Amino acid sequence: MAPRTQVAASAITAPFATVRSVGRRDTDNRLIHADNLRALSWLRGEFEGRFRCVYVDPPFNTGRTFAEYDDARTPLEWREFMKPRLQAILPLMADDGVLFFEIDDSELGPAITLCDEVFGRSARVSIITVVRSAATGHKASNRGPVNVSDFILVYEKTKGSWRPFAQKVLRRGYDRAYRSFLVNPGARHDAWRFESLATAAARDAGFATPLAARRALGAGTFERTSVAFALAHKDQVVRFAQPRYEAVSRAAQIAIDVSRRKRGRVLRLSRPGHADLLLFNGNRVLFLGKKVIETASGPQLVEPLTNVWDDVPFQGIAKEGGVVFPRNKKPERLIERVLSLSTSAGDWVLDPFVGSGTTAAVAEKMGRRWIGIDDGEVLKSLAIPRLTRVVSGEDLAGVTRGHGYAGGGGFAVFA
């Protein structure tokens, strides 16, 4: 791991004072209206090692000037601005804490280099691609690749210490790999028999064969019928997947070899602390039921979260939280995912570029404790009014209903 650098000696640690309290007074949640380097240095005395999640959404250095801030620095100026702030964040993170650093491609390379220097290359967990728009409108006229994404760099404080909370996302469409059906689930596993999912679905619909079902219903209708049947019988629908022979235990390798020889029979290997390994003709037997959840609208297929997030809409958030912050505000659902992945109720969350207050708003609604920092007027004009509406229970947008939040929190403003 690369050596950890210290907070810049020039950082000012002069104290701050409470200038305003909103809502409950028995909370340590706070907005700090100040230069974030100065504020981060001040926080170290009270909050060293306490933040489970730090979300950083800095100026992207796009070369543009917004009403709220100047986003046009030279590459060297941007780097010199960001490095001491990352260094100041590091000691505030819990030993098992994690940093999410959002950026577009303007300074993506330098951002990776900076985080590698401060946190260590081995502490880099992932680079997430966030699809924020589509190639429509004026973008569709571009002759080269259309830029539709941001990136989130994920770094843990200490290599191997972060334990993310597993997240599932809804799958678009059926997973066609699951196309076999277990006919006799009540039998011993070595007597199990399989047939095609299409055959089972056709029989359930009253047809002798899939071909007869397609002719009578039409291909599209039969496909939808088959998917509905699969979801309704999820614990009998399977796929056969080739295991990674070199990556499994010696006992599993022996079981795979035996299964390849004893074709037509299911072999079960008991694995203490893990699900049993089921093998058929040398392949794993995987059940669709492991990928289905029940929702208000019925069973839905889910899959593990990947490093491509294309299911968090940026459209339609212009007035989310009751604030208008064009081109700069992030969706509450994006921050919800970050916090769901990295924190539990009661954990501390830090956003040193809090802007319009999205991170603080979502943290409040999810029962996390939070601190947001910003030196711009946007903290006064957008963040404070927004968070006041949140804690008073007036903000019903974003992720509010999903977490059953009805207000009741509070925060203090420091300057």
Q: pLDDT tens, 212-269?
A: 999 999 999 999 999 999 999 999 999 999 999 999 999 999 999 999 999 999 999 9
Query: Which pLDDT belongs to residue 329?
Result: 84
Any idea which residue has 């509406």 for tokens?
A: 389
pLDDT of residue 147: 83
Question: Could you tell me the pTM of the whole model?
Answer: 0.86
Q: How many CB atoms lie within 10 A of CB 298?
A: 9
Six-digit token string for 80: 């010199």
Express as a percent the part of the chain with pLDDT over 90.
79
pLDDT tens figures, 130-174: 998 776 665 656 667 888 899 999 999 999 999 999 999 999 899
Mean pLDDT score across all residues of the chain: 91
Measured between its terminal Cα atoms, the distance across the chain in Å is 37
Q: What is the pLDDT of residue 316?
A: 81
**DSSP helix/strand/coil, 189:** helix
Q: CATH 3.40.50.150: which residues of the chain?
A: 18-167+306-414
From 301, 309, 374, 316, select the one nearest 336 (Cα to Cα): 309
pLDDT of residue 317: 82
pLDDT value for 60: 82
- pLDDT computed for residue 233 by the predictor: 97
CATH architecture of 18-167+306-414: 3-Layer(aba) Sandwich (3.40)
3-state class (DSSP) for residue 71: strand
Contact 289, 157 (CB under 8 A): no
Q: Kindly report the number of other CB atoms within 10 A of residue 361's CB atom.
A: 31
State the pLDDT at residue 66.
67
Residue 240: in which H helix or E strand, if any?
A: strand 237-241
pLDDT at 107: 92
Low-confidence residues in the chain, pLDDT < 70: 1-14, 63, 65-69, 135-143, 326-327
User: 217 by DSSP, 3-state: which?
Assistant: helix
